């Protein structure tokens, strides 16, 4: 399939059949999916109809039929029992053939050779012989086009470019213009070939995503390793990844320390250090040392599979602009055909014009009636934007999301885990008795093994300073207040200022210190020995390094920002002031939803969150965006996702959406502008048949090439579309049919 009109042909051929519903034809992934009642229509009838209009169709995993690279029918395409196509083992894919090896390439070469021979006969032979040479060249080149045209007419779609082409070329022969007819047939074949090449380039950018995960993995079995299919790995198994190899699964490092290049998955250019207990993504590249990894997700649920699934689903989620263009194109073509009929008969009947002259103009007008360029103007841009976003760690679930993101005027951020890291760390240690090492040893001794984030942060701070926790006994938690234990015969308590006040261990001087730290948005715990204050430790969930820059970039884009958090007002104010952002604090999940609803009443709102409690607010916003490290619930609820956990990717996502919508507007202007110009010039007799076909196929190629410019766009910087000579970076190994 080369353009939106191809997808429309397949959709129209099958959706008219009884028992067929929910027809989804994805242009770039070449996928047909539908719901079928096999009591009314068999799956074999579906395949017959698709083959009848000139497309190949085969089950997912099977070798593609003619034409090569034709439809791939997923195993879940037909919902039913007896007629379901059995799953076949995946076959090793072969590279796409060169253009001259394709059906369209051979048609171009054949019709070109016939046209050249006809021109040669005009120079060397008599006029009558050369006349018939042009007629033969036209007919031979027109036969495959006419067959497709009549096949489409039989399934109720008479207004296709193939039918218009057949009428125009046949009409040119009838009125004695075989040279132009032969040239038009050749130019049409060239245009079809260029459309196919352009669509193939866009399609390959999507296919590259599926090539990231290696096909095999080194599985540990006892004391040995053996090579197995990566898709056969199950949760809990251990695999080895050597330096230079791609990680075959989502998993957790069991042993080994190495830098891992995650750029194929997230676009992050700097390798990340991976050590035991740290997660790794399928498709990332181990760069330094051997890693042993425990599989945590099945192949169907790993990061790459989810990205591919999101992109595939996104292709089916059409933008409002695309749906409007589809409706418009259904009216446009019949209107142009009607206008051509008036041009053919009106002037000769009304004003005595020459029949052959006005029929010629009408035939040229017919060729301008095909809406291919207009139909592909939106999906080509959307597909390129989705591919660029996926390569840069930005996922959007379809054209509707892209269109909504481009109109965003306000961004609402969750705080914890979004604007901040979500993990508190020790920022201040103020000693009243003894020294800092002794104070941290006592606190770590009490908190050793704690599950509370503050306790873990204190233990982490002691470990970072090479301080061993003091030996403690009789440890117990004080719910809502802290924890205590017995160390060296004394009761040591690590608790909140409120607990210290209850135990009369919070004098005014210490209270003033606590209030000063809390004013900075920090949480304070006090270490007590037998109810005597030994010192205090302040902790804070620090903002991400790029949070302030993200807010500044949004402001430069004309987008306002607000932070929504359940934290106390003092902490929220301190974080918000440091980032230069408005805030609303002490919000329960339902309060966040209410805040979003208030904003959406007067603005276009994007919500950024990562937790389960953010899911309702994500759903309430015009565009919900989940941070990549967030919960599965947030990722499923959200309209988009950011895989790199960079806050600056939020303005990047808006920048990409705006670039895509700008590209769509350019495409629509190109398509309609060229049509309008040549409609006028054709009626006035300035341009003829061969110019008309160039206007049609040329517009389609221009629109597709313009959409491909989005593949060079860098959404995380303020730069505009890169020069066409720059090639996008791709990371690919093995290919899997989608």
Phi, psi dihedrals of residue 222, rounded to the nearest 5°: 65, -125
Indicate the DSSP class of residue 262. -
Measuring CA to CA, which residue among 527, 382, 533, 523 is closest to residue 454?
A: 523
Alpha-carbon span 11 to 8, nearest angstrom: 5
Alpha-carbon span 335 to 238, nearest angstrom: 64
* Residue 557 structure tokens: 């884009």
Q: Are 377 and 704 in contact (CB under 8 A)?
A: no
* Residue 672 structure tokens: 């309609």
Alpha-carbon span 148 to 156, nearest angstrom: 13
CA dist 695 → 331, 511, 553 (Å): 20, 79, 41
Looking at the DSSP bridge assignments, the partners of residue 389 are: none
117: CB partners within 8 A, 6+ apart: 133, 137
Catalytic residue (one of 414, 567, 649, 696)? 414
505: CB partners within 8 A, 6+ apart: 526, 528, 531, 532, 533
Looking at the DSSP bridge assignments, the partners of residue 226 are: 219
Residue 301 annotated to the active site: no
Identify the burial level of 557 via C-beta atoms within 10 angstroms of its C-beta, where 0-12 means exposed, 13-18 middle and 19 or more buried.
middle
CA dist 286 → 245, 246, 274, 304 (Å): 6, 6, 9, 16
Measuring CA to CA, which residue among 403, 205, 397 is closest to residue 315?
A: 397
Strand 238-241 with 291-295, pairing: antiparallel
Measuring CA to CA, which residue among 197, 241, 199 is closest to residue 218?
A: 241
Count of beta carbons in the 10 Å neighbourhood of residue 727 = 9
Q: Are 447 and 458 in contact (CB under 8 A)?
A: yes
Mapped onto helix, strand or coil, the DSSP state of residue 538 is strand
Q: Are 345 and 361 in contact (CB under 8 A)?
A: no
Type and span of the H or E element at 369: none
Gyration radius from the chain CA atoms: 33
Q: Give Dmax (Cα) for the chain.
A: 119
Measuring CA to CA, which residue among 411, 425, 441, 365 is closest to residue 595?
A: 411
Taking the CA atoms of residue 370, residue 371, residue 377 and residue 379 in that order, the dihedral angle to the nearest 10 degrees is -100
Mapped onto helix, strand or coil, the DSSP state of residue 411 is strand
Matching residue, tokens 């103009």: 361
Matching residue, tokens 């017995």: 486
Long-range contacts of 225-230 (CB under 8 A, 24+ apart): 230/282, 230/299
* Residue 383 structure tokens: 């597909």
Measuring CA to CA, which residue among 179, 175, 159, 185 is closest to residue 358?
A: 175
- CA dihedral (231, 235, 239, 241) positive or negative: positive
Measuring CA to CA, which residue among 359, 321, 367 is closest to residue 185?
A: 367
Q: Which positions are annotated as active-site residues? A: 414
């Amino acid at each position: 399939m080369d353009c939106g009109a191809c997808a429309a042909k397949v959709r129209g051929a099958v959706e008219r059949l009884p028992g067929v519903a929910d027809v989804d034809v994805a242009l770039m992934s070449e996928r047909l999916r539908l719901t079928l009642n096999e009591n009314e229509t068999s799956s074999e009838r579906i395949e017959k109809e698709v083959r009848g209009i000139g497309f190949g169709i085969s089950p997912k995993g099977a070798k593609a039929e003619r034409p090569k690279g034709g439809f791939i029918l997923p195993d879940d395409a037909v919902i039913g029992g007896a007629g379901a196509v059995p799953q076949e083992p995946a076959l090793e894919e072969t590279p796409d053939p060169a253009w001259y090896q394709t059906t369209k390439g051979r048609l171009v070469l054949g019709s070109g050779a016939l046209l050249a021979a006809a021109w040669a006969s005009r120079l060397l032979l008599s006029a009558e012989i050369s006349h018939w040479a042009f007629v033969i060249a036209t007919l031979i080149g027109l036969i495959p086009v006419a067959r497709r045209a009549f096949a489409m007419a039989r399934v109720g779609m008479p207004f296709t470019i193939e039918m218009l082409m057949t009428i125009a070329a046949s009409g040119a022969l009838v009125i004695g213009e075989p040279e132009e007819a032969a040239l038009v047939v050749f130019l049409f074949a060239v245009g079809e070939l260029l459309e196919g090449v352009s669509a193939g380039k866009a399609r390959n950018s999507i296919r590259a995503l599926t090539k990231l995960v290696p096909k095999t993995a080194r599985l540990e079995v006892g004391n040995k390793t053996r090579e197995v299919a990566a898709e056969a790995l199950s949760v809990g198994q251990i695999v080895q990844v050597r330096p230079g190899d791609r990680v075959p699964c989502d998993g957790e490092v069991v042993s080994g320390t190495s830098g891992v290049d995650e750029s194929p998955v997230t676009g992050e250019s700097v390798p990340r250090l991976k050590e035991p207990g740290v997660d790794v993504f399928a498709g990332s590249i181990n760069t330094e040392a051997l890693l042993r990894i425990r599989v945590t997700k099945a192949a169907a649920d790993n990061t790459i599979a989810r990205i591919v699934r999101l992109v595939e689903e996104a292709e089916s989620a059409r933008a409002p602009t695309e749906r409007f263009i589809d409706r418009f194109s259904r009216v446009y073509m019949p209107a142009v055909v009607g206008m051509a009929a008036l041009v053919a008969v009106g002037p000769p009947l009304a004003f005595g014009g020459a029949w052959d002259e006005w029929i010629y103009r009408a035939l040229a007008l017919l060729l301008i009636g095909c809406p291919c360029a207009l139909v592909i103007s939106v999906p080509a841009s959307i597909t390129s934007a989705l591919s660029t976003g996926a390569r840069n760690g930005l996922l959007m679930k379809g054209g509707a999301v892209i269109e909504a993101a481009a109109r965003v005027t306000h961004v609402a951020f969750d705080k914890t885990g979004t604007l901040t890291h979500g993990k508190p760390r020790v920022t201040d240690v103020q000693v009243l008795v003894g020294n800092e090492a002794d104070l941290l040893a006592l606190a770590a001794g009490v908190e050793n093994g704690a599950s509370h984030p503050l306790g873990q942060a204190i233990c982490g701070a002691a470990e970072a300073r090479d301080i061993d926790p003091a030996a403690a006994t009789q440890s117990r938690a004080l719910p809502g207040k802290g924890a205590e234990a017995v160390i060296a015969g004394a009761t040591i308590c690590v608790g909140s200022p409120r607990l210290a006040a209850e135990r009369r261990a919070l004098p005014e001087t210490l209270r003033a210190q606590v209030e000063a730290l809390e004013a900075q948005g920090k949480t304070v715990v006090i270490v007590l020995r037998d109810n005597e204050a030994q010192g205090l430790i302040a902790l804070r969930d620090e903002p991400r390094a790029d949070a302030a820059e993200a807010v500044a970039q949004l402001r430069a884009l004309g987008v306002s920002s607000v932070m929504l958090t359940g934290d106390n007002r003092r902490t929220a104010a301190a974080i918000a002031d440091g980032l230069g952002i408005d805030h609303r604090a002490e919000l329960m999940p339902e309060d966040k939803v209410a805040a979003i609803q208030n904003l959406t009443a007067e603005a276009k709102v994007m919500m950024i969150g990562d937790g389960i409690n953010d899911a309702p607010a994500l759903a309430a916003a015009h565009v919900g965006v989940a941070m990549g490290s967030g919960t599965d619930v947030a990722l499923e609820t959200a309209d988009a996702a950011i895989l790199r956990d960079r806050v600056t990717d939020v303005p990047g996502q808006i920048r990409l959406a705006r670039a895509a919508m700008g590209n769509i507007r350019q495409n629509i202007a190109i398509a309609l502008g060229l049509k309008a110009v040549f409609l006028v010039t054709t009626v006035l007799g300035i341009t003829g048949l061969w110019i008309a076909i160039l206007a049609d196929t040329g517009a389609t190629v221009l629109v597709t090439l313009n959409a491909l410019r989005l593949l060079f766009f860098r959404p995380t910087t303020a730069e505009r579309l890169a020069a066409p000579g720059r090639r996008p970076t791709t990371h690919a190994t093995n290919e899997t049919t989608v």
